[in-house]
Amino acid sequence: MIQVVNDSLAVANELRPVLLRLARRVRRESHALGVTAGQVTLLAVIEDNPGITGRELADREGVSPPGMSASLDRLEVAGLIVRTRGVDRRRVGITVSAEGARVLRSVRKKRTAWLAERLDRLSGGERAAVEAAIGPLARLLEEEPLLEEEAQ
């Protein structure tokens, strides 16, 4: 069992910087479209949760409500989101505007194209290895730890 832990630590030490650099490089593709990676993240969360409030978004993203409000102000001024008052006028829901949806599609398309171009540079075997790793990598993001019988 100790060998598995050591192997896991060695793999983690090699995998972590690669994943960080890959994520950073993919995020950088959004800058050419005039939005930051953080703005793209907010747009994606808002798109997935139409009507979310600024406070809910701040809680979800782990930032202060005033900080989130400033970020949302910038998105609203850019025409990427729309704030709508609810019936009781205290609740302000946020949705992605048509322009925000267009920008989000463009960012996703640009990021996917960048990644596809890099994948095309790999050999068939390397691409197959990357494809085979997608499922296990996705499982790393699951909240629940693997059950012992699943790990075997």
pLDDT at 148 over 60: no
Which conformational region is residue 129 in: left (phi greater than 0), alpha (psi within -120 to 50 degrees), or beta? alpha
Nearest to 76 by CA among 64, 89, 88, 92: 92
Question: Rounded mean pLDDT of 67-93?
Answer: 91
Question: Rounded mean pLDDT of 44-54?
Answer: 95
Name the most confidently modeled range: 27-41, 114-128, 138-152. Answer: 114-128
CATH of 2-142, one of 3.40.47.10, 1.10.3720.10, 3.40.50.300, 1.10.10.10: 1.10.10.10
User: How high is the pLDDT of residue 151?
Assistant: 41
More confident residue, 72 or 89: 72
Mean pLDDT of the residues in the chain: 88
